[in-house]
Each structure stands twice: as C-alpha cells, then as structure tokens.
Structure 1
C-alpha cells in the first residue's frame, strides 16, 4: 500500500538534523541519487535496496524537481528486490549433486561436510541466476513544513531497514519514531507538559524504553475512548492546527474490532479479540474486569459525514488500515497522466493530514483529562460502567 492507496498503514517520524538553507533541491537530489536503487535482474546478486521515484519505480534518477518535490513535500520510495530459492528446491538439487559426487567416489558412504557445503553454495548460485528478483517498495513522504516524515508501512523489518538506509543517506540526520509518549509531547505545553513528564515511567529517552515503559498511554487512551462512546460522549472539537478549523465538531468512537491482552494466573500472556459491531460490549467488559488491557482497536472518526477509520496499535501508535474519504478526481482528456497523479497525491495527503489532525485532537482531549484531576471522575465513570450501574 502506497501514498496513492485509499487505505494505508503509516508510521510517522520526526527528523533530527538541520537542512541546508540554500540549494536544497541539489542537496536532496545528490543524497537520494547516491543511494538510488540498482537493478540485479542481470546479475546473481540476492538482493538490492535503494531509493526510487514514487511514480517511476524503475527510475532512481532524482534530477527533475517535479519528479520528487511537490510544494513542501519530498516524495520517494524505498525499493527492495530479492531473489529467493525455495528450501525444498535447493535441497532437491543439492541432493542430486551429492548423489553424482558419491557415484564418482564409490568408496564414500556420504559426502564430506566441506564438500556438501561447497555443493550447496554452487547449487544455490546456479538457481539464483535462473530466478527473477521479486520487487517490493514502500513510499515515503517527508513534509518539510512540519518536519514529519510518513512511511507507508508498519512492518518491523521494513522500519528497521528504512531507518538504517535513511541514516546512511542523510548523514547527520536521524528518524525518530512518533511513539505514544512522543506524540503526547507534541500536543501539550506549559504546566501540562510538566505533568506529562512527571508521569513518564521510562528510565531513559531511548525509544525502546519510552515505548515499553509508557504503555499506559495507549491502554488508558483506548479505554477512555471506549467508555466515552458507550456513554454517548462521542462528540469532540478540533483543537490542533491543520486543514480543519479550530473548534469544528467531529465524532469519534471505538467499534468493530478490539484486542485485549493480560496475564493469566499461570503467568502466561493471554490475548482476546472482540470482533463485529458491539451492542452491549459484554465481551469487552468481561475482558476488562478480568484485568486485561486494550492493546489495539478500530477507531472511527466522522466530520461532516466524511469518515476516517483506522486500527490503532496502542503500544506504538502505528496507524493500520487507515481509510480516508474516497478521492474523486474528474478525468479530463486534456489532462495528462502525471498531472492527474499529482492531483491525486495532493488530495490523498490533504485527507490523510485531516485524519491525523482529528486523531491528534482526540488524543489531546484525552490528555487534558488524563493529566488533570478530571481523571479521577473518569475512572469512577469507567468503574460504574464495568459494574453495570
């Protein structure tokens, strides 16, 4: 799923480092081209990875501004091609070669270990040259205005590879994932920021520690939103800057799919999923009363009958299956394909940023309760709901 898809999964980063004040196009062009993707179709290499143009995945020449620079966005893709020899195929062919070797050496009952390794290596190389590499790519949108980079993937290995090649490409720059505590820091200031820092359970600023030790943010946020929806408190107002005006009303609620996790008496981790439209939430109430936490849930948001829907990963705040309102581009015979794709890109980013603005406003509303005395009253309301009162 890429930037042009109506449903996407995204991970967001803030980027540390200072961009050059002059000749930014030349700087980006040189950096991206230096680690551009190199085809391995006519070689025996197992894999290749590098940057390409979003609209031309076979092209790694970042020479024309319009190919990858759109207003305040720098847009490119991380492409990875990989050849793989199925294990069963490799074993079969290596077995044949070992059989041929033993036929030439009747005094041996089994090929020596070193010879078997040599045969396996030669067979794998021969099979690799006969197989075509399988391409995969993930789109990247780096917003120079906000400093936020959006990677259109949630895959752990993809994120690791992206972060590594990004640091190698842009020396002195580092992508820092926007995890729950980092997003909270972006949304509060002044005394509220002091309260947030006082609630920080992590022993260091390391991303892994911030995510692991501050899981309470995701747990409490999803529980708060679930109870508010059940209690008929699903009306919110836009409070974060963006395309929508401050104070505009929208609705948000949890529905469709909720995942819970908690420990059992034996010490093992138990996971429970509740799927389908919820009426009385009896299964959810049972899981919560049993001490389980909400770790993932589908969040619906609606503004002026325009719907946004996403599955929030509570631990990392990764947005899975984020579905925005449908893009409707009027096709005109006088408009070329590239112009149409640009129009789709801007419309997609506009709607995606609206969705993030709504989510941030929702999360900010939670923080305004969670970090103040109002949280005590909310906990009482949650307990009353669980007790059926």
Structure 2
C-alpha cells in the first residue's frame, strides 16, 4: 500500500549532504526528470527503474512543480518494472529448440555448448518479449524542514535500491537510516545526549556498528513498555515538537502481538505470542528464560479519540503496518480532483506526523529514565514483576 493509505509500512531516513544553493524545488524537479521511469511494456527489457508521480504511478513527466512539490514537502515514487521467465517454462522451451536444432543438423548427436548458449539467449529474449513486466511502486516523502524522509517499504533489497537511486539522482546528497541511536539523539536535550554518548556501546560512528552494538535501545524500550502496559496507567505527555501541543496527554501500550528472540542449544529461538493479552504470562515466561522482545504491536491514543497502531521493529525502529486514523476530506460540488488529491496528501501528512510525534515522545520518556539514576530501581521493579509469573505457577 502507498503512503497515502491509512495503513502502510514505513521506515525513516535523514537526508545528508549540502543542499544546492539554487532553488531546491526547481533543482529537484530537474533531477527527477533526468532519472524518470521509462516504460518497457513494448520491448523485451528485463528491468526499468525510475521516478514517477506519487499521485499517479503511470505518469513520469516532471515538468511542473505540482509533480513533486507541496509546501515544504518533496514527494516522488520509485517505480520498478521487472520481467522474469519461470525456470520451468524456460527449460521446456529450450528442450524444444534443442530437439528442433538436432533435427535440422542430423550430423550432431547433441547440441554444441556454444550453440546452446546462443539458443538460450534467443529463447529467453523471445519469452521475455511475450511476458508483461510486473510493476512495483514505493513512495517517498521528504520533509525539507526537518530533513526527514519517509519511505514506504521495509524490504532490505528495496531500501538498498532506493538509497542507490536517490544518491544517483540527487548528486551530493544521500539518505542515512534513522536508526534507534540516531533517533535517540534527535529526541534528547543536550544533557541527556551526553548520557546517551556515555551509554553508547559502539566503537565507531559507522551506522551498522551503532545499530548492532546498541540493540539495548529497542529491547529495553519494549521491555519497559511491557511493564508499563501491565502495571501503570500507560499515560504520557507530548514532549517533542510537532503538530500536537506540548504536554498534551496520550496513552501508549503494547497488545495483540509480541515477538521474542533468544539463543538455545539449537541456535536462535523465536517465539510469537499473538492475540489480546490479559497478563502476558507467556511473554513473561520467555523473558525469564532470557528471551528479548524484538518486535511488538504498539498502540498510541490521544484524548481526541485518535488511534495509531504499528508493529514496532526493535532493531531498526521500522514501523510495520502503521495504521493511522482515517483521512476524512469534506467534498462539495466545487472540489476538483487535483484539489482533493492535495487535501488528502496534507491530511495524511498531519496524521503521520502526529503518530511519529507521539512515538518520539514515548521514546524520549523512556530514554530519560533509562539514562538516569532511577533506572536500577526500575529494573528491579521489572524483575520482581517478571518473577511473579502465574503462567509458571506462581513466584519463581
């Protein structure tokens, strides 16, 4: 589903590099046009990758600002069309061509190796020309005020393709993953940033090292959320800048699905607990056996009865199945299609940004506790709660 859908899986990047001194929006339009998507429906090319309109993936002309620019947002969609021939079909067609060649060349008992290669290429090209390409699209919205870019795929291969295409298109710029440590830096004040640096377990600034060595950010965050869900009111206050007012109250809790991972005699062991939970006894039992929560369904609710739901991936802080309140646009007889699309876009951005603001506020609340002097006592409380595990027959 695209980024304008009420439910979408997203990851976040920060745009790095020096922005052009000329008009950013005009420059972006020119770069997108130079790297636009070219259809391959009429040929036999295997792959085509390029940019199309977010509003309409069939359109790839970037000749007016409305194609990619709305207020302080730049928006574009990566389209990838790919042809492929199933191996079984290719093999059967080749066997027929080999037999035909042997009939036409009776002096041979088998097809020579070099001729096999020629036939294979010819058959493959013929089959590709008879196969329609399969399209796939992935939306990107770049907030030029914050430098945050939202991308609508969690596939590692698609993310890698997007990073390459972005760097190729926007010379001098690149996108870097907005991983848990980077996100933590962004939500903390200067004093807590110092504490975060002291808690950093990575030995370099390489983002892979920062992710791998600081997985405690995700596992401790979700363990704390689990404890809060079962033992506290789960009520928090907005503390990050954005659309929602400072100190506005909201609720955050885990439910529905929890995934835990740990090591055992036979290697990594994965446990999935699904369905509404009363006491999370199975999860608590797994935690006592040194499993760690790696992903969970997180709910965020405001006093305005707005509800966000996501599957939080703890290692990278990807938001899978990120469901926001429905977009509600009031239309009348004077509203044309272009105005409606624009209204839907802005309303969707408001909802996505509210959800991210709530998540960042929740994460910042955890970090201030985790990095502060009160964390040892909090850990002790969590351990006492885990030890009273009715699933295991009482206190352990």
Report the TM range for the smaller structure's normalisation: over 0.9
The whole-number CA distance in structure 1 between the counterparts of 2:153 and 2:59 is: 21
1:271 aligns with 2:270: yes
Where structure 1 has 5 or more consecutive residues not aligned to the other structure, the ranges are none
Name 2:53's counterpart in structure 1.
Answer: 53
Name 2:342's counterpart in structure 1.
Answer: 342
Runs of 4+ off more than 6 Å:
none
- Assess if the C-alpha contact under 8 Å between 1:13 and 1:177 holds in 2: yes
Which aligned pairs between 1:4-19 and structure 2 lie closer than 5 A?
A: 4-19=4-19
The whole-number CA distance in structure 2 between the counterparts of 1:384 and 1:233 is: 18
Q: How far does residue 80 in structure 1 lie from its aligned partner after superposition?
A: 0.7
Name 1:298's counterpart in structure 2.
Answer: 297
The whole-number CA distance in structure 1 between the counterparts of 2:296 and 2:15 is: 28
1:83 aligns with 2:83: yes
Q: How far does residue 284 in structure 1 lie from its aligned partner after superposition?
A: 0.2
1:332 aligns with 2:332: yes
Counterpart secondary structure, 1:367: helix
Name 2:392's counterpart in structure 1.
Answer: none
Name 1:29's counterpart in structure 2.
Answer: 29
Q: How far does residue 345 in structure 1 lie from its aligned partner after superposition?
A: 0.6
Q: Deviations over 1:4-56 (max 9, x none)?
A: 10001111111112223442232111111110111111222111000111123
- Assess if the C-alpha contact under 8 Å between 2:299 and 2:310 holds in 1: yes
1:182 aligns with 2:175: no
The whole-number CA distance in structure 1 between the counterparts of 2:330 and 2:369 is: 44
1:371 aligns with 2:342: no
Which aligned pairs between 1:235-274 and structure 2 lie closer than 5 A?
A: 235-266=235-266, 268-274=267-273
Deviates more, 1:64-73 or 1:107-116: 107-116
The whole-number CA distance in structure 2 between the counterparts of 1:170 and 1:67 is: 17
The whole-number CA distance in structure 1 between the counterparts of 2:56 and 2:323 is: 25
The whole-number CA distance in structure 1 between the counterparts of 2:286 and 2:250 is: 29
Counterpart secondary structure, 2:141: strand
Q: How far does residue 67 in structure 1 lie from its aligned partner after superposition?
A: 2.2
Name 2:391's counterpart in structure 1.
Answer: none
Deviates more, 1:14-23 or 1:63-72: 14-23
- Assess if the C-alpha contact under 8 Å between 2:26 and 2:65 holds in 1: no
Deviates more, 1:61-70 or 1:160-169: 61-70
Q: Deviations over 1:200-254 (max 9, x none)?
A: 1112222211111111110000000011110023010000000000101000001
Counterpart secondary structure, 2:149: strand
Give the alignment's Cα RMSD to 1 decimal: 1.3
Q: Deviations over 1:250-297 (max 9, x none)?
A: 00001000000000034x000000000011211101110111000000
TM-score, scaled relative to structure 1: 0.97
Q: How far does residue 106 in structure 1 lie from its aligned partner after superposition?
A: 4.2
The whole-number CA distance in structure 2 between the counterparts of 1:102 and 1:385 is: 77
Q: How far does residue 76 in structure 1 lie from its aligned partner after superposition?
A: 0.8
The whole-number CA distance in structure 2 between the counterparts of 1:246 and 1:232 is: 22
Give aligned pairs, total: 388
Name 1:286's counterpart in structure 2.
Answer: 285
Name 1:320's counterpart in structure 2.
Answer: 320
- Assess if the C-alpha contact under 8 Å between 1:256 and 1:277 holds in 2: yes
The whole-number CA distance in structure 2 between the counterparts of 1:226 and 1:91 is: 53
Where structure 2 has 5 or more consecutive residues not aligned to the other structure, the ranges are 389-394
The whole-number CA distance in structure 2 between the counterparts of 1:381 and 1:43 is: 65
TM-score, scaled relative to structure 2: 0.95
Q: Deviations over 1:335-372 (max 9, x none)?
A: 11111111011001000000000000000001011101
The whole-number CA distance in structure 1 between the counterparts of 2:141 and 2:113 is: 50
- Assess if the C-alpha contact under 8 Å between 1:3 and 1:345 holds in 2: no
Q: How far does residue 107 in structure 1 lie from its aligned partner after superposition?
A: 4.9
Deviates more, 1:277-286 or 1:347-356: 277-286
Q: Deviations over 1:319-350 (max 9, x none)?
A: 00000011111232221111111101100100
The whole-number CA distance in structure 2 between the counterparts of 1:153 and 1:374 is: 38
